[in-house]
Chains A and B, each alone.
Chain A
Amino acid sequence: MAVTDTGRMDAGAKRPSRLFKNMTAKIAAIPMIATALVVFIGCTAWTIYHSFTRSRLLPAPDKWTGLQNYDRLWSENRWLVSIENLAIFGSCSLVLSLVIGFILAALLDRKIRFENTIRTIILYPFALSFVVTGLVWQWLLNPDLGLQNVVRSWGWETFTFDPLNNADIVIYGILIAGIWQGSGFVMVLMLAGMRGIDEDVWKASRVEGIPTWKTYIFIVIPMMRPVFVTALVIISAGIIKVYDLVVAQTSGGPGIASEVPAKYVIDKMFGSQNLGLGFAASTMMLLSVLVVLIPWAYLEFGGKKER
């Protein structure tokens, strides 16, 4: 979030800073301060602490068990399946949405007609909720009446595509829905980045006689690095949160084949009353976010200071 600091001197800062100076602003900012401290720091710390306790039906802050919850978590099949699914879903949707988003943006960037209409069509799924997305694709991928049935009725009798019934490929069924919902957003980001590139770059490459596709790959992509990084961070933060899509489309099934960590946490906390495991799993989720977030924040803010 490189929030540009304009270095504005405000009215309050010029005077000696005392507690009562600027009091109204401080009072007005109480909701923000409370949210930052109580919810974002307090609740996170609470969960991390309780992930080391033997909490079952109720949180048990005094029953310290060390890493026991984490041991159980990583030896539980359902969690491992969740992680595997998240890895497949995450890497595929990251790569696919970046590639599709970039290609679509590049096509729209070619000064075409009906740009607005096409952009509106590609982006509209993003306005829909994951629940709606999941349910639509559940219907489209319905093994008896959906796409598979249509293709078979066209004469290709052996055509088989039933991800929602097949535990091996169910995660790809969710992937299709996820890409449908989110790729328009990536396209909008990329398009904004492309529009930010100087027209002279294009003129220069045209003078040099470089083909358009080469210009995109070797000149535009390197210039759009910040956009790619932003998109990467936003997509990965979104991937880790994937919950409603799975609940709506497959409810984690068939069996546990399409479980994801976010769903695991909710089920453990509110379904099977095993709070300790839920806390441990959510702490793992936080850890995976930090793995993405810290290098990014370091690059973003560490780089600023050097300039």
Chain B
Amino acid sequence: MTDATVNALSGPKGPKPKKVFSSTNIIIYGTLFVVCMYYLLPLYVMIVTSLKGMPEIRLGNIFSPPVEVTYEPWVKAWAEACTGINCDGLSRGFWNSVWILIPSVFLSIAIASVNGYALANWKFKGSEVFFTILIFGAFIPYQVMIYPIVILLRESGDGITSFIRIFNSDAETFRLMGSLWGLVIVHTIFGMPILTLLFRNYFTSVPEELFKAARVDGAGFWGIYFRIMLPMSLPIFVVAMILQVTGIWNDFLFGVIYTKPDTYPMTVQLNNIVNSVQGIKEYNVNMAATLLTGLVPLVIYFASGKLFVRGIAAGAVKG
């Protein structure tokens, strides 16, 4: 209030100072406070529940902070929780997810960035048609394509096996279906539309003179890609990585269909642990397991800040 008077006396300088406690502000901040509570509540309940012992959970209410903090549920969720006959906890799912994640992210970004680069700088007859199909393909429900892909993976696995056996007759059967590599291929395929769009739009905005100058200097397709485009577009690669890491980590559908129980990614294993019908429900272990699974995308989200927003907006907002 005093600020306002001072400003009024010294003449109009700068924008009109706002009152801090106007009724509009109270409504805005009040609403936002309530909204933030709603969004934070599940995270809070997850954390609190995972730190309580089972007796405390049965007696108390879900919002009350733990009287006795115990880390046992976390240890149990990570190393001992059971799915079916396996009792080695979520750690197996975690490492499966990591081994799925690394090649999937690398492969999908490598392929999509080259696609985007070809579409932006090396258009050929029909390239736009394929691109349009790709973009429309992003809207086809996965359920439509899921079964034929099972067949494709099985057949190409068999094909590769017989190819290897030409050289080494007692080589093991190579499987794509049910293995990590099959899932990597599936993630690469379904990540392609959005990533290709992302890279295409980015490479189109790179000044054309740069490209022309490199052409004059005799650089070819790969030369320009590796020496000019790649070093210039590191931010967009980071955005693509954020997009893919969270997307692939959070995937459930492909994991459940294209892998087997011992190669299940973390999300699938988590669901099996929590929704298993045998035994007594240990809510604290379940919440610790849920938090563990959510931790990777959450860390990426909080660490990357605006880049995450840019990543998801890139998929949504056009060009």
A-side residues, CB < 8 A to B, are 1-4, 6, 8, 10-13, 17, 21-22, 24-26, 28-29, 31-33, 35-44, 46-48, 59, 104, 107-108, 110, 112, 116, 118-132, 135-140, 142, 145-147, 149-150, 153, 180, 184-185, 188-189, 192, 212, 227, 230-231, 234, 237, 240-241, 243-244, 247-248, 251, 261-262, 265-266, 269-270, 275, 278-279, 281-283, 285-286, 289, 293, 297
Chain-A contact segment, one of B174-182, B233-241, B266-274: B266-274
CA distance A251 to B275 in the complex (A): 8
CA distance A205 to B185 in the complex (A): 53
Query: How near does chain A come to B182, taking the closest CB pair, in angstroms?
Result: 13
Q: When A and B form their complex, what is the total count of cross-chain residue pairs whose Cβ atoms lie within 8 Å?
A: 290
Interface residues on B, range: 35 or more
Are B28 and A11 closer than 8 Å at their CB atoms? no
Query: How near does chain B come to A19, taking the closest CB pair, in angstroms?
Result: 9
Are A25 and B124 closer than 8 Å at their CB atoms? yes
Chain B positions within 8 Å of A43 at CB level:
144-145, 148-149, 152
Ordered nearest first, which 3 A-B pairs have the shortest CB separation? A129-B250, A40-B137, A25-B122
9 contacts between A and B (CB under 8 A): A6-B204, A29-B115, A29-B124, A123-B309, A131-B267, A147-B62, A149-B61, A261-B143, A289-B139
Are B123 and A12 closer than 8 Å at their CB atoms? yes
B130 at the interface (CB under 8 A from A): yes
Assess A150 versus B61: contact at CB under 8 Å? Given A112-B32, A124-B298, A241-B142: yes
Chain B positions within 8 Å of A275 at CB level:
147
Assess A131 versus B147: contact at CB under 8 Å? Given A35-B192, A44-B140, A188-B312: no
CA distance A237 to B316 in the complex (A): 12
CA distance A4 to B63 in the complex (A): 50
Chain-A contact segment, one of B68-76, B81-89, B161-169, B286-294: B286-294
Are A189 and B316 closer than 8 Å at their CB atoms? yes
Chain-A contact segment, one of B3-11, B98-106, B195-203: B195-203
Are A110 and B28 closer than 8 Å at their CB atoms? yes
Are A131 and B252 closer than 8 Å at their CB atoms? yes
Are A2 and B318 closer than 8 Å at their CB atoms? yes
Are A26 and B124 closer than 8 Å at their CB atoms? yes
Chain B positions within 8 Å of A110 at CB level:
28
Are B118 and A135 closer than 8 Å at their CB atoms? no
CB < 8 Å neighbour of A33 from B130, B135, B318? B130
| Binary per-residue interface labels of chain B (254-297) against chain A in the complex, 1 for a CB within 8 Å, 0 otherwise | 00110000000001101100110000000100110010011001
Are B189 and A128 closer than 8 Å at their CB atoms? no
Assess A286 versus B127: contact at CB under 8 Å? Given A132-B294, A189-B313, A230-B316: no
CA distance A248 to B268 in the complex (A): 9
CA distance A297 to B302 in the complex (A): 35
B226 at the interface (CB under 8 A from A): no
Are B136 and A293 closer than 8 Å at their CB atoms? yes
CA distance A121 to B32 in the complex (A): 10
Q: In chain B, residues 15-59, which have Cβ atoms closer than 8 Å to a Cβ of chain A?
A: 24, 28-29, 31-32, 35-36, 38-43, 45-46, 49, 57-58
